[in-house]
Amino acid sequence: MKKIKVLVVDDSAVVRKVFREEISRENDMEVVGTAPDPYVARDKIVQLKPDVVTLDIEMPRMDGITFLRKLMRHYPLPVIIVSSLTKKGGKLAMEALSLGALEVMSKPSSAYSVGEMGVQLVDKIRAVARLKVSPKEESSFKKNPQARSASKALAETTNKIIAIGASTGGTEALKVVLTGMPPNAPGTLVVQHMPANFTTSFAERLNELSAMTVKEAKDGDSLINGVALLAPGNYHMLLKRSGARYYVQVKKGPLVHHQRPAVDVLFHSVADYAGSNAIGVILTGMGSDGALGLLKMKEAGARTVAQDEKSCVVFGMPKEAIKLSAADKVVPLNSVGKTVLNMIS
């Protein structure tokens, strides 16, 4: 089988070396070239025709965002963003995803071991390598007025819980789902595979766009109507209950499906503590994280929804859930929010 050709673009010689070593361990991929800046990268993309580009976004001469914008307009191909674990890095990563990058990961550091990074890097490369990427224009970041009007059909007193899991392509998918929810939607829990610190910027971005309040979860946060809690990167998020009060536990723990946070961890806890009071949603993403958890939710009486193949960036997680008969409904992305609201009412 033809090897996946990867071009590594990063101004750090150390990162270029680490990525080359990690990718070279795999039999199905190879680093065909490296570039210290976008000018060199531009020439190598034309010359080497890589299947995947890993791209740093903070570089000299031309920043990665400017380069990505040009690349997606004129020569679109799968791009994995590599960024520093800083607030600025997180915001730039969110901008890159809106421009058409498919995945984001953090640079190797003391907080993120090379071993963990290596597993995630090759998994992400495999997930995006065969995807067809179309020219991308920047998304419009305006609030959705229909979300507020939808609140009239939703009882203020609902005590339902919505649990959503996503991975590759999930940042844009979650934007579609959450901006379509009314301001009094049931308390919502979200796991998106994303490194630490980037989830802060992602929650802030969703909060700006949504009628709901969206925030990064903190240990002990209560679930209340109109609030969506996003699992922080590098922490699992679980649902707990004390009397009539639902709250979240945010904690470390072993990686599940090579992920922390993991969708399965959330879904299993929702099945245990909310049962038929919950609605589970599994969106675009690589691998099988969340499939067994969604099945457990369904078996506990929850209603469940999976995104359909045509609208997924990567039909991995929903596909595995559908194979297990874990989804009551399989719908296109633009129908997910409406389906969930219909299940509530």
Strand (E) or helix (H) holding 111: none
Amino acid 292: pLDDT = 98
Pick 211 or 85 by higher pLDDT.
211
Q: pLDDT digit string (tens) for 222-247?
A: 999 999 999 999 999 999 999 989 99
DSSP type of residue 269: H
Spatial contact of 51 and 77, defined as CB atoms under 8 Å apart = yes
Range 4-129: architecture per CATH: 3-Layer(aba) Sandwich (3.40)
Q: pLDDT digit string (tens) for 152-175?
A: 555 444 589 999 999 999 999 999
Q: pLDDT digit string (tens) for 31-67?
A: 999 999 999 999 999 999 999 999 998 887 888 999 9
Fold of 145-344: Rossmann fold (3.40.50)
Spatial contact of 294 and 280, defined as CB atoms under 8 Å apart = yes
Residue ranges per structural domain of the chain: 4-129, 145-344
Percent of the chain at pLDDT exceeding 90 = 75
Of 112, 24, 122, 11, nearest in space to 56 by CA: 11
Q: In a 3-state reduction of DSSP, which class is residue 214?
A: strand
Q: What is the mean pLDDT of residues 321-330?
A: 98
Q: Which entry of 84, 106, 167, 269 is annotated as an active-site residue? A: 167
What average pLDDT does the chain have? Answer: 90
Q: What is the mean pLDDT of residues 3-12?
A: 94
Quickly count: other Cβ atoms within 10 Å of residue 58's Cβ: 18
Q: Is 257 a catalytic residue?
A: no
Amino acid 155: pLDDT = 47
Do domains 4-129 and 145-344 share one topology? The answer is: yes
Angstrom distances, CA of residue 101 to CA of 72, 168, 305, 314, 345: 9, 10, 26, 13, 36
What's the one-letter identity of residue 79?
Answer: V
Query: In this structure, what token pair is assigned to residue 165?
Result: 């899991």
Q: Is 167 a catalytic residue?
A: yes
Q: Which entry of 10, 37, 193, 236 is annotated as an active-site residue? A: 193
Q: Is 56 a catalytic residue?
A: no
Q: Which entry of 37, 56, 289, 308 is annotated as an active-site residue? A: 289
Phi, psi of 47 (to 5 degrees): -75, -45
Spatial contact of 93 and 44, defined as CB atoms under 8 Å apart = no
pLDDT of residue 211 exceeding 90: yes
Q: pLDDT digit string (tens) for 274-295?
A: 999 999 999 999 999 999 999 9
Q: What is the mean pLDDT of residues 319-334?
A: 98
